[in-house]
Amino acid sequence: MPELPDVEGFRRVLAEHTGEPITGVRVRDAGVLRGTTARALDDAVRGRRFEEPRRLGKWLIAPVGGPVLILHFGMTGSLSWHSPDEPPHPHDRVIWSLGDGELRFRDMRKLQGVRLADDERRAERILGDLGPDALEVSRKEFDELLSGRRGRLKSALTDQSLLAGLGNLLADEICWQARISPLRAVPDLDEKDLAALYRTMRRILRESVKVERVPPRDTWLTGARDERDGPCPHCGTTLSRRRVSGRTTVWCRSCQPT
DNA sequence: TTGCATGTTCCGGA
DNA sequence: GTCCGGAACATGCA
């Protein structure tokens, strides 16, 4: 699931539960801990309170008054609030108890996980390779990022060190709604293309963040892409499908000529 | 059984 | 230095 809009949803969950002392951390599967241990995690946060969380791309940054938790949800992670009475889900890997409930980090595939930085400075080091957040970037900055880039548009949009937050679904959705092929070489894009991409990216992110996911509407590519040989919601042409830089890429060869 | 899945990282090669 | 493809990571589903 998690691309920028999903993680923004998780940030909101956490933001609703700042201020209450954390009474304990249960690590049910240490396989999601990255560079830390259950013991270190508990020591670092017990008795402290979550402060205002922030998001950079697909990363959720949760300061607890000194130490900083850094969460990444991979392809299957989530963060949700539960009553302690509710039995844990088999994929609940880490649980923080606070107030009258629990925050649960759930993740089936454990491709990413939970990191702990001792302070903001170290947190920044972990996040240092990320580009600006896709929701925050200005038009000018967007142009600057893409100028000098040589490869395909799809690769550029999903490169987190260039621009943080866009995943496979969002990149394809943006290209499709902007009517530009994801296979186009970035240097071949003209001013009009860049304007369309930026405008479309902003609009799609705004709408997606509202519902905390890329909405699978049938007027969007995301609502149509899962059907094999399905039609383009714009023009009815059979959607094209191919792997581009390691990810399945879906586009319409009629609406998005190469 | 095989291929695929909205993630990142690391490697070799162009 | 950049960029690309492929593999690895771990799990479940069609």
Instruction: Pick one of 3.20.190.10, 3.40.640.10, 3.40.50.970, 3.40.50.720 as the CATH number of A4-126.
Output: 3.20.190.10
| CB-based contacts of A43, cutoff 8 Å, min separation 6 | none
Mean pLDDT, to the nearest integer, of A74-88? Answer: 94
CB < 7 A from strand B, the residues are A 1-3, 6, 57-58, 72, 74-75, 109, 111-112, 129, 158, 160, 167-169, 214, 246-248
List, for residues A231-252, the tens digit of each pLDDT value: 999 999 999 999 888 899 999 9
Q: Cα separation of A151 and A155, whole Å?
A: 7
Mean pLDDT, to the nearest integer, of A30-59? Answer: 95
pTM: 0.95
- CATH number, domain A139-251: 1.10.8.50
- pLDDT for A191 equals 93
Q: Cα separation of A27 and A42, whole Å?
A: 9
Q: Do domains A4-126 and A139-251 have the same CATH topology?
A: no
The answer to whether the C-beta of A243 is closer than 7 A to strand C is yes
Nucleotides of C under 7 A from a protein CB: 2-12
Q: Which of A35, A25, A65, A27 lies closest to A48, judged by CA?
A: A65
- pLDDT for A52 equals 97
Residue A125 has pLDDT above 90, yes or no: no
List, for residues A196-215, the tens digit of each pLDDT value: 999 999 999 999 999 999 99
The answer to whether the C-beta of A151 is closer than 7 A to strand C is yes
- Residue pair A33/A41 in contact (Cβ under 8 Å)? The answer is yes
**Token pair for A177:** 């709604």
List, for residues A84-99, the tens digit of each pLDDT value: 999 999 999 999 999 9
Mean pLDDT, to the nearest integer, of A77-84? Answer: 95
Binning pLDDT at 50, 70 and 90, where does residue A184 land? very high
Binning pLDDT at 50, 70 and 90, where does residue A224 land? very high
The amino acid sitting at A160 is Q
- Residue pair A106/A82 in contact (Cβ under 8 Å)? The answer is no
The full set of domain ranges for chain A reads 4-126, 139-251
Binning pLDDT at 50, 70 and 90, where does residue A228 land? confident
Q: Is the dihedral of CA A186, A192, A195, A197 positive or negative?
A: negative
Residue A221 has pLDDT above 80, yes or no: yes
Tell me the three state secondary structure of residue A187: helix
The answer to whether the C-beta of A93 is closer than 7 A to strand C is no
Nucleotides of B under 7 A from a protein CB: 4-9
Kindly report the length of chain A.
258
Active site annotation includes A2: yes
